[in-house]
Structure 1
Amino acid sequence: MKAITFEGAGDADVLRLVDEPMPEIRPNDLLVRVRAAGINRADILQRQGFYGARPDFGDSLVPGLEIAGEVVEVGPKAEGYKIGDRVMAIVGGGGYAEYARVDSSMCMPVPDVLSYAQAAAIPEVSVTAHEALVHLGELKAGNWVLIHAAAGGVGSAAVLLAHAIGAKIVFTASGEERIARVTALGGTVGVDYRKQDFLSAALEATGGRGVDVVIDFVGGPYLDRNLRALAPGGRLIQVGILGGTEGILPIDLLVHRHLRIIGTVMKSRTFEEKVAMTARFQKHWHSAFVDGALKPIVDRVFPLERAAEAHRSMEASENFGKIILSMDEASQSFAPLQGTT
């Protein structure tokens, strides 16, 4: 089968399209003919050597954490699916390939209204967004939430879910066009982080009270302002550290306002934790994708052999929503998709 691999950490040019052995399925696995795979920041970190040379956080050295495709083989103990079923799933690596194995408990049916490219834009970002907003952040209707990097994959998914919950959203993005697009998804107050102070905007929007939840991907440089943007009892959910790991922690504020800082990441979770996260998301949101109330946001689709170009696009923060790799021969040309598709 064709797959993307790399030897030695490096920039996007280390990615190569090669022939790899077919995955060997385990008793609880499904073998999936991958039609589309989502690209995530964790894939870039893996390529850069952040996770080391061994698949410590998965079961394949082939990159790729989320897929959509059809079942072509069913393990003897796999449950809930049969050959020919359309599925989407979070995988322990191996997504950038024509075939991938996945434990059946990690799969979700692909709604009939969605293409494979759209389905591949759901699992990783939406499960992560639900975990941060609802399970950890305890966001409820009428609450205020501050969502950083709202034009990115997880950020835009978080805006969609927060709006569906009935929360009010302060968000950061760059430029008038992106702010307008996030507003169209349900954002309440947009902040251009290059020109405006999100702390002032959050306090102004909430009448000085502060927001109930902050979803942050930046890390250290935002830590102090994120905590100052929280209302008493508020929760900072740290999903990423794109801006670095060192920041100012106002401990007095943390103590006197009864604030909580909670870290979460998908790739390093145990298999059992990933199953639980997927189940929580599916129970809460799958029906909304089935009936069309929610639609995944696909920015553009690249053919598998242009994975390096897709990585460079993500590293340049050119995307609004998800960047997808397509394995279908009929989709082997660059296909930009506008907005929610």
Structure 2
Amino acid sequence: MSEVMSAYIYNAGGGPEVIELIERPIPTVGSGEVLVKVEAFGLNRADVQQRKGVYPPPPGASDIPGLEVSGSIVAVGEDVTDWSIGTRVAALLAGGGYAQFVNVPAELLFRIPEGLSSVEAAALPEVCATVVSNLFIEGDLKSGETILIHGGAGGIGSMAIQLAKAAGARVLVTASSPEKLEYCLSLGADEGINYREDDFEARVKELTDGQGIDLILDVIGAKYLERNIRALAVEGRMVVIGLQGGTKAELNLGVLLGKRARIIATTLRSRPLSQKSEIVKQTVARVMPLVDAGKVSINVSKVFDFSHLTSAHEYFDSGEHTGKIVIEV
């Protein structure tokens, strides 16, 4: 095996033109880690935000982007007893995935089920861990409750629809076009709202007979804050996981108090290993049986070759995609 690998970094903040192919030494596997030969990796909005210069990697993380990979284990570090060389795995990362090899703490590995391709497996770790942590651990979604998922046609939204439905929730989504809403409905969403044509707050009141939403999964942030709060039901919760619509907005605390509502803001990437490990455990327990049973659609919308990573970012920036974009190494 060569001592060097190909990888991508961002040489500045900006558009896809800042993506640069480099050579790096293959990582050394440390205690408690495995070394994965990467076969595919997912492209996530966090990667794009990092490329733009607004979402830097957490302290200690690799400057190589990439938050999820699939591949096979080629080396095992000390104190790793549950994994062996040759095992096909997917992995959740804080960075380092845009490369031919990456070292991963053993606690953040997912065993790839038989019959699942590397491309499909690469689309699972980040979205599944994000959805499980925010819908069920933070948001405490229960059967019979109603959830509103903003950006339902994206990678996270696609998985959130399916896992919420599997948990017995009623699912409402927002999206930007009739085609994207049809896609969401095909995954199990009960109602779709075209945010370019309709006021989602007014539609929520109609669709819930004025009761409001028990849980909102929000990727927009400031732009939707006031309307989201008004759309919540009594004792409703809102989990903010993205800031596509800005970072600052006024909040009427009186409305929040009157509803006994909660706003929860989370990120996954910067959490300590102990928390990520618990999220991965719960994700494996909740999601993998559904994957094994064929009850989850993984929804890879487009696959790019490793040499065409810039094109993959351009496609992501176009806003045309639904589901996940995956790069095959």
Q: Which residue of structure 1 lines up, in the alignment, with residue 242 of structure 2?
A: 240
Equivalent position to 1:143, from 142, 145, 152: 145
CA distance in 2, matches of 1:39, 1:273: 23
- Output the amino acid matched with 1:239: I
CA contact (8 A) 2:58 2:94 kept: no
- C-alpha displacement at 1:248, in angstroms? 3.0
CA contact (8 A) 1:71 1:84 kept: yes
Secondary structure at the aligned position of 2:165 is classed as helix
Q: Which residue of structure 2 lines up, in the alignment, with residue 180 of structure 1?
A: 182
CA distance in 1, matches of 2:29, 2:14: 30
Secondary structure at the aligned position of 1:133 is classed as helix
CA distance in 1, matches of 2:246, 2:60: 24
Q: Which residue of structure 2 lines up, in the alignment, with residue 128 of structure 1?
A: 130
Q: Give the unaligned 5+ runs of structure 2.
A: none
CA distance in 2, matches of 1:22, 1:234: 48
Q: Which residue of structure 1 lines up, in the alignment, with residue 327 of structure 2?
A: 325
Equivalent position to 2:219, from 217, 220, 235: 217
Q: Which residue of structure 2 lines up, in the alignment, with residue 333 of structure 1?
A: none
- Output the amino acid matched with 2:103: R
- C-alpha displacement at 1:8, in angstroms? 2.2
CA distance in 1, matches of 2:296, 2:60: 29
Q: Which residue of structure 1 lines up, in the alignment, with residue 17 of structure 2?
A: 13
CA contact (8 A) 2:8 2:21 kept: yes
Q: Which residue of structure 1 lines up, in the alignment, with residue 297 of structure 2?
A: 295
Is residue 34 from structure 1 mapped to residue 42 from structure 2 by the alignment?
no
CA contact (8 A) 1:78 1:103 kept: no
Equivalent position to 1:117, from 111, 116, 119: 119
Secondary structure at the aligned position of 1:71 is classed as strand
CA 1:60–1:171 in structure 2 vs 1: closer, same or farther (change >3 Å)?
same
Q: Which moved more, 1:182-191 or 1:282-291?
A: 282-291
CA contact (8 A) 1:58 1:267 kept: no
Is residue 206 from structure 1 mapped to residue 181 from structure 2 by the alignment?
no
- Output the amino acid matched with 1:19: E
CA 1:56–1:139 in structure 2 vs 1: closer, same or farther (change >3 Å)?
closer
Q: Which residue of structure 1 lines up, in the alignment, with residue 196 of structure 2?
A: 194
- Superposition RMSD on alpha carbons, in Å? 1.2
- Output the amino acid matched with 2:42: G
Provide TM-score, normalisation by structure 2. Answer: 0.96
Q: Which residue of structure 2 lines up, in the alignment, with residue 157 of structure 1?
A: 159
CA contact (8 A) 1:51 1:57 kept: no
- Output the amino acid matched with 2:141: L
- Output the amino acid matched with 2:37: R
CA contact (8 A) 1:42 1:267 kept: no
Q: Which residue of structure 2 lines up, in the alignment, with residue 92 of structure 1?
A: 94
Q: Which residue of structure 2 lines up, in the alignment, with residue 305 of structure 1?
A: 307
Is residue 3 from structure 1 mapped to residue 7 from structure 2 by the alignment?
yes
CA distance in 2, matches of 1:58, 1:167: 38
Provide TM-score, normalisation by structure 1. Answer: 0.92
Secondary structure at the aligned position of 2:321 is classed as coil
Q: Which residue of structure 2 lines up, in the alignment, with residue 250 of structure 1?
A: 252
Q: Which residue of structure 2 lines up, in the alignment, with residue 270 of structure 1?
A: 272
- C-alpha displacement at 1:306, in angstroms? 1.3
CA distance in 1, matches of 2:189, 2:152: 9
- C-alpha displacement at 1:51, in angstroms? 4.2
CA contact (8 A) 1:149 1:155 kept: yes
CA displacement 1:78-110 (0-9 Å, x = unmatched): 131111111011112110111111011100101
CA contact (8 A) 2:58 2:269 kept: no
CA distance in 1, matches of 2:205, 2:239: 18
- C-alpha displacement at 1:57, in angstroms? 4.5
Number of residue pairs matched by the alignment: 325
CA distance in 2, matches of 1:221, 1:164: 30
- Output the amino acid matched with 1:166: G
Q: Which moved more, 1:267-276 or 1:187-196?
A: 267-276
CA contact (8 A) 2:217 2:239 kept: yes
